Amino acid sequence: MTMTPSAYHFLFFFLLFSSPSLIAGQLLYNVCGTTGNFTANSTYQTNLHRVLSYLSHNGSTSGFATTTFGQIPDLVIGLALCRGDVKTTECRACLNTATQDAQQVCPFNRASMVWYDFCFLRFSNVEFLGSTSNDPELLLGNTAYVSNPQRFDRLLNLLLNATLDRAARSDKRFATGVVRKFTEENPTVYGLVQCLPSLSESQCRQCVRGLYDPLPSFLQGRQGGRVLGVTCTMRYEIYSFFEGSPKLISNIDQIAMSPSADRHFLLLLLLLLFSCPSLIAGQLLYNICGTTGNFTDNSTYQANLNRLLSTLSLNASTSGFTTTTVGQVPNLAIGLALCRGDVNATECRGCLDTASQDSQQLCPFNRGAILWYDFCFLRFSNQQFLGSTSNDPEIFMHNVANVSSPQRFTRLLNLLLNSTLNNATGSDRRFATGQVSNYTAASPTVYGLVQCLPYLSASQCQQCVFGLFNPLPTYLEGMLGGRVLGTLCTMRYEIYSFFEGAPTLRLTVPLENATSPAAPPAAAPPLAVPASGQGKKNVTGTVLAIAIPSVTAISLIFLICICYWRRRKPAPQYETEAEKIMSVESILFDLSTLQVATAFFSEDNKLGEGGFGAVYKGFLPNGQEIAVKKLLNAGQGLAELKNELVLVAKLQHRNLVKLLGVCLEEEKMLIYEYVPNRSLDLYLYGNHQFVHSYEMQVAALQINHSNTVNVDPARGKELPWGTRYKIINGIAQGLLYLHEESQIKIIHRDLKASNILLDAEMNPKISDFGLAKLFDGDQTQGTTNRVIGTFGYMAPEYAMHGKFSMKSDVFSFGVLVLEVLTGRKNSGSYDSETAEDLLSFAWEKWSGGAALEIVDPVLGDEYRGSDVLRCLQIGLLCVQENPSDRPSMITVDLMLSSETVSVQTPSKPAFCGAKSFKDVPVSDSSALPVGALEKSGTRSVAMSPNEVSISELEPR
């Protein structure tokens, strides 16, 4: 059959505009914030809507806009940027889509970032304007490779350098460029770079050059690629992808009119299919790198990982699914590979080979990675994940086109996916495909696919997939196609066939306007309908189409009645202590689960023991490591449990130790995340011997005095300057969250190095909220008659007069900053009459013009002097004697994150020149009356400075 030129045009445009990734408004990537959530109809939501409306309007007229609205804690900061070559209408349309998607992909989140071909949108409750950091960065690459990679890389560098030069000198910080005569087959390479217009010329150059010089290994040799960031982006292709170059269409016209149009057009279509990443079955859909640390080149872990990936690729290609482990802890590598149930062994092997290569390019030297493709899924880690029943993370993708009849489409989709799921749970491979006919005349058929890991039980698979589409996520409502990718189960639906072979299930429903006979008064057939005779399919589809809405309506009425009855039940007038604790939103753990996790609390798993009980290390069934705090007695333990839950259960931040749950049975226990790299003090004080039970710190508990650890001075070398700077920033962000961003304002009161835990990547986590105090929204200061804390970190107004506030935490933070810079312990300065305290030492060096002499000697010259000076000045600002002179944590965070924010000159620190508290009487109590300060710096008011003290919380 010969196709007419108009038919070629239609087919070509259909390919272009039916593929989501070829649409400029398609969401490329999104990142949700970690600074908390807001509630519906709250002040923050109102402010957010105003910010998004402003950005959509002003961003579309100028191409770039920033704004802020409201006051802390409901302050909203926003930014919108359109690609420099798009028209106002295209910009406005993209930003309108972005404002909707940002709230759908990150519902009720205080921060979101969304990238599109035509625009970029970002909002947050934390200041980011003025930042020059480009993180997070996302790399996307074409799957096709060039024939001469060395020549291509040279020409690409030439192109991007020249394009960057033009962009940096333009007001819009945007430019496109071409380089010709690459090869005869691909004569032209196209490039684009863009920075935020708020960046200076030099900042733009520095940002973009970091994207391609050198070119990331993942992009080397590829025919196209891009890097998305928050301050700059770059892209290159062997075809024109920016506005104003209609060469592709004119080529099609010439081919369509040539004598060999059919042959050439088919070749062009094949080229389009195989050069466009989204149309390749082996194209990477999404990837996530692990957070459990890195390995080194030629290490044992790398050898184990290579063996693991080779085994997975080989075994999965024959069976479609495999899991395996290689090596022993700490070099244990655990892996899983799954191919889509309809692909053959060759396609499966090809996809997994690609995944194995991409995993090491996308996540170089990372101990964990997750990658999704059309044909396969690959996952590996050094942490146990086999047996987990969590589908997280879940990735949502959708077609940009909308359905014409969304209600009917949703009903048919629910019918299709329910039936397909039933088929999948009944199969050994936990895979099924299906189709439902007679949706509309224009789009007659809807196709669906569901798949679970084969080792899931039928009920586990049912529960996992059912949660993906019932109810359908708002992000997918009304879309002609969509998919959800998970680590246990996936689902996809489209209005075109996207799987191989015939579907395992076929359903037919009456057309929308057709009249159908009444269903016979017989029992409704099961949802899983076998693909047998056509007449039987029609009857079954009709019955299902009538029965399912009826059952749903009856169920809704039943649920409404239950809700009404429950609301009429009188609430109990009094609550027991256990009931008060139960009202806290926490995860309840069974005692039996914890007994198995800790090997029945064996001595081998014991991490330490303190005043309120012992702490044990354990493993949950999904392989997650935990720390279990076992409280001693019911009375004291229940009160302690209540205090911890009231505070910690509401705190969710990457720089705070996470409370995982609680056990409320005959034994009361708290369950925390296990933090593997112990506490900061072990790495800082290389020349001290001190009391510490390091693994006890994972639960932030009181430590007894029985365990002593000799710390090698070489340990300080494990904290290079970059890690120290990251730790300072992380502590600042965690403290900022406690003071300003959490649902409740919290004063920590015991911030010190031993209460800063370090995760696998040396990110800091603030622990121990036993001494913390809650403040009301308008409360700024509290007073106590009993001073509890750690000498060396106490602010003078708290130590002398019992007054505490956010500024007393700021003082402790300042001491921590100075300790991180110097590797010296401030509380250790009270050990002798002649010792010079750390604050005096830092002040004298800074004021005497020898500031860099304070730097920890183990760093040598491997640090950035300007960063050290800035941190030193911030630390001295924080330890000033007058609380009102100390900066807030908001100001501290701004000073740390932006070099453009000026840092004031500090005044003389508190306690500067004080050698000891020798005139203060000694008390043996765990807490002293105001003014009764002890002499010893190695005691935290009758406790070790490395203890974690716990006290009863007072009500607001």
Question: DSSP assignment of 680-748, as one string?
Answer: HHHHH-TT-EEE--GGGGGGT----TT-EEEPPGGGGGGS-HHHHHHHHHHHHHHHHIIIIISSSEEE-
Mean pLDDT in the chain? Answer: 75
Q: Would you say residue 506 has pLDDT above 70? A: yes
Q: Give domain status of residue 76, yes or no.
A: yes
Whether the Cβ atoms of residue 704 and residue 696 lie closer than 8 Å to each other: no
Whether the Cβ atoms of residue 593 and residue 668 lie closer than 8 Å to each other: no
- Who wins on pLDDT, 609 or 749? 749
Whether the Cβ atoms of residue 333 and residue 326 lie closer than 8 Å to each other: yes
The band of 65, judged by pLDDT with boundaries at 50, 70 and 90, is: very high
Indicate if the alpha-carbon torsion angle 340, 344, 350, 352 is positive or negative.
positive
CATH code for the domain of 640:
3.30.200.20
- The arithmetic mean of pLDDT across residues 621-643, rounded, is 67
- Strands 27-32 and 112-116, by their bridges, are antiparallel
- Strand-pair partners of 436: 446, 507
Q: What is the DSSP letter of 586?
A: -
- The arithmetic mean of pLDDT across residues 290-312, rounded, is 90
- Looking at the structure, do residues 637 and 531 belong to the same domain, yes or no? no
Q: Give domain status of residue 432, yes or no.
A: yes
630 labelled binding-site residue: yes
Domain containing 339 equals 284-381
Percentage of the chain modeled with pLDDT above 90: 25
The band of 398, judged by pLDDT with boundaries at 50, 70 and 90, is: confident
Question: What is the rounded CA–CA span in Å between residue 780 and residue 768?
Answer: 22
- Looking at the structure, do residues 860 and 729 belong to the same domain, yes or no? yes
Whether the Cβ atoms of residue 951 and residue 770 lie closer than 8 Å to each other: yes
Percentage of the chain modeled with pLDDT above 70: 71
Task: Please give the pLDDT value at position 570.
Answer: 37
Q: Give domain status of residue 954, yes or no.
A: no
- Listed ranges 7-16, 161-170, 782-791; the one with the highest mean pLDDT: 161-170
- Looking at the structure, do residues 746 and 602 belong to the same domain, yes or no? no
Whether the Cβ atoms of residue 442 and residue 463 lie closer than 8 Å to each other: no
Helix (H, G, I), strand (E, B) or coil at 618: strand
Q: Would you say residue 407 has pLDDT above 50? A: yes
- The arithmetic mean of pLDDT across residues 174-181, rounded, is 81
- Looking at the structure, do residues 61 and 203 belong to the same domain, yes or no? no
Q: Give domain status of residue 443, yes or no.
A: yes
Q: Give domain status of residue 741, yes or no.
A: yes
Q: Give domain status of residue 8, yes or no.
A: no
Q: Would you say residue 246 has pLDDT above 80? A: no
String of b and e for 322-337 (b: at least 16 CB within 10 Å)?
A: bbbebbeeebbbbbbb
A 10 A CB-CB count for 553 gives 10
Task: Please give the pLDDT value at position 654.
Answer: 83
- Looking at the structure, do residues 399 and 321 belong to the same domain, yes or no? no
- The arithmetic mean of pLDDT across residues 5-18, rounded, is 37
Catalytic residues: 750
Whether the Cβ atoms of residue 272 and residue 15 lie closer than 8 Å to each other: yes
Place of tokens 């107004």: 797
CATH code for the domain of 749:
1.10.510.10
- The arithmetic mean of pLDDT across residues 235-251, rounded, is 60
Domain end, chosen from 353, 381, 409, is at 381
Query: Number of folded domains in the chain?
Result: 6
- Looking at the structure, do residues 808 and 874 belong to the same domain, yes or no? yes
36: left (phi over 0), alpha (psi -120 to 50) or beta: left
Question: What is the rounded CA–CA span in Å between residue 868 and residue 854?
Answer: 10
Domain end, chosen from 124, 152, 184, is at 124
- The arithmetic mean of pLDDT across residues 572-601, rounded, is 61
Nearest by Cα to 84 from 205, 176, 187, 181:
176
- Looking at the structure, do residues 748 and 838 belong to the same domain, yes or no? yes
- Looking at the structure, do residues 210 and 105 belong to the same domain, yes or no? no
168-172 contact pairs (CB < 8 A, 24+): 168/195, 168/201, 168/202, 168/204, 168/205, 168/208, 169/201, 171/197, 172/63, 172/64, 172/84, 172/197
Six-digit token string for 662: 């609680």
- Looking at the structure, do residues 744 and 872 belong to the same domain, yes or no? yes
- Looking at the structure, do residues 588 and 726 belong to the same domain, yes or no? no
Q: In angstroms, what CA-CA distances link 933 with 218, 536, 691, 801?
A: 60, 88, 22, 11
CB contact set of 854 (below 8 Å; sequence gap of 6+): 818, 821, 822, 841, 842, 845, 846, 872
- The arithmetic mean of pLDDT across residues 391-410, rounded, is 78
Question: What is the rounded CA–CA span in Å between residue 898 and residue 430?
Answer: 51
Task: Please give the pLDDT value at position 442.
Answer: 66
Task: Please give the pLDDT value at position 42.
Answer: 94
Question: What is the rounded CA–CA span in Å between residue 768 and residue 702?
Answer: 9
- Listed ranges 154-158, 564-568, 733-737; the one with the highest mean pLDDT: 733-737
Domain end, chosen from 504, 521, 554, is at 554
- The arithmetic mean of pLDDT across residues 106-110, rounded, is 92
A 10 A CB-CB count for 760 gives 16
The band of 194, judged by pLDDT with boundaries at 50, 70 and 90, is: very high
Q: Give domain status of residue 922, yes or no.
A: yes
Q: Give domain status of residue 15, yes or no.
A: no
- Looking at the structure, do residues 329 and 424 belong to the same domain, yes or no? no
Task: Please give the pLDDT value at position 472.
Answer: 79
- Who wins on pLDDT, 284 or 374? 374
Helix (H, G, I), strand (E, B) or coil at 232: strand
Q: Would you say residue 474 has pLDDT above 50? A: yes
The band of 874, judged by pLDDT with boundaries at 50, 70 and 90, is: very high
- Looking at the structure, do residues 832 and 899 belong to the same domain, yes or no? yes
CB contact set of 141 (below 8 Å; sequence gap of 6+): 218, 219, 222, 224, 225, 277, 284
- The arithmetic mean of pLDDT across residues 152-159, rounded, is 83
Indicate if the alpha-carbon torsion angle 407, 411, 416, 418 is positive or negative.
positive
CATH code for the domain of 433:
3.30.430.20
Q: Which segments within 598-704 are labelled E, that is strand?
A: 606-610, 613-619, 625-631, 659-664, 668-673, 689-691
Helix (H, G, I), strand (E, B) or coil at 410: helix
Q: What is the DSSP letter of 830?
A: G
